[in-house]
Amino acid sequence: MMKPVVPEVVDVLWITAGLSCDGDTVSMTAATQPSIEELIKGALPGVPKLRLHNPVLARENGDEFMRRYEDASQGLIDPFILVIEGSIPDETNKAEGYWAGFGTDRATGQPLTTCSWIDRLAPRAWAVVAAGTCA
């Protein structure tokens, strides 16, 4: 039996633009077994180093922050884990408007819905995680 190949680094694309539940991101920072610092530094044997992209915890903002999500949706980041925090709205139940957005469409200047990001990223993700009691 072949031993599974563990990647050296895994990007974690974390979307907090569902409907509520941002408290789960904050509670993650208090975890201790393992801690977020241990995961980011790659301090655990056999566990890949994580590059966390979370809008609440990120240094980047705007286009610089969204670039990772755009790159992943085009297959330029592999592997990555997609984390969706909070509930996912049904964007098909109304004639206009949207419930939850994440970023802006560069061509139109209009908000991109959280659902459109899920549709673009989930098929390419190494894993998809629903985070929070609303998930």
CA distances from 16 to 3, 34, 48, 64, 107 (A): 34, 21, 23, 17, 23
Residue 112 has, within 13 A of its CA and on its CB side, a CA count of 16
Average pLDDT over every residue of 56-61 = 90
pTM of the model: 0.90
What is the reported pLDDT for 53? 95
Using the predicted structure, report yes or no on whether residue 22 has a pLDDT greater than 80: no
Among 17-26, 116-125, 126-135, the range scoring the smallest mean pLDDT is 17-26
The residue assigned the tokens 């790159």 is 71
What is the reported pLDDT for 6? 78
Average pLDDT over every residue of 110-114 = 93
Average pLDDT over every residue of 18-31 = 78
Pick from 132, 94, 134: which is nearest to 113 by CA? 94
Say what percent of the chain tops pLDDT 70: 97
